């Protein structure tokens, strides 16, 4: 494969990633509404730690656990902002 082929593959994967992140955001919005109804806090450090533990457990590489967690820290931060904004 040449660089064009690899870039095409990356574009296809990016499309899939965007779809999955959008689905995750819809779930986060629904959870945010439930939290608002029950007056639960948006920030739940124990749940976030459970997500990070799960991500570490399923990470096949080549990204290190630390690198993958860096991606997830940002993702969760964005989802938390979405819950606060849209509930």
d(CA 48, CA 5): 37
- Is residue 55 pLDDT above 70, yes or no? yes
Instruction: Kindly report the average pLDDT of the chain as a whole number.
Output: 96
Count of domains in the chain?
Answer: 1
Kindly state the average pLDDT of the residues 40-68. Answer: 97
The answer to whether the CB of 60 falls within 8 A of the CB of 5 is no
- Is residue 86 pLDDT above 90, yes or no? no
d(CA 81, CA 83): 5
Residue 34 domain boundaries: 3-86
Token look-up 């509930």 returns 87
Is-above-0.75 flag for pTM?
yes
The enclosing domain of 29 has a CATH number of 1.20.59.10
Confidence (pLDDT) at 87: 52
* Per-residue model confidence as pLDDT tens digits over 9-34: 999 999 999 999 999 999 999 999 99
């Amino acid at each position: 494969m040449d660089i064009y082929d690899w870039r095409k593959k990356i574009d296809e994967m990016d499309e899939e990633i965007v779809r999955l992140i959008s689905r995750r955001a819809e779930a986060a919005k629904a959870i945010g509404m439930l939290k608002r109804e029950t007056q639960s806090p948006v920030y739940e450090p124990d749940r976030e730690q459970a997500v990070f533990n799960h991500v570490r457990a399923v990470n096949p590489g080549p990204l290190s656990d630390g690198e993958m967690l860096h991606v997830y820290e940002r993702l969760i931060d964005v989802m938390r902002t979405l819950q606060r904004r849209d509930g």
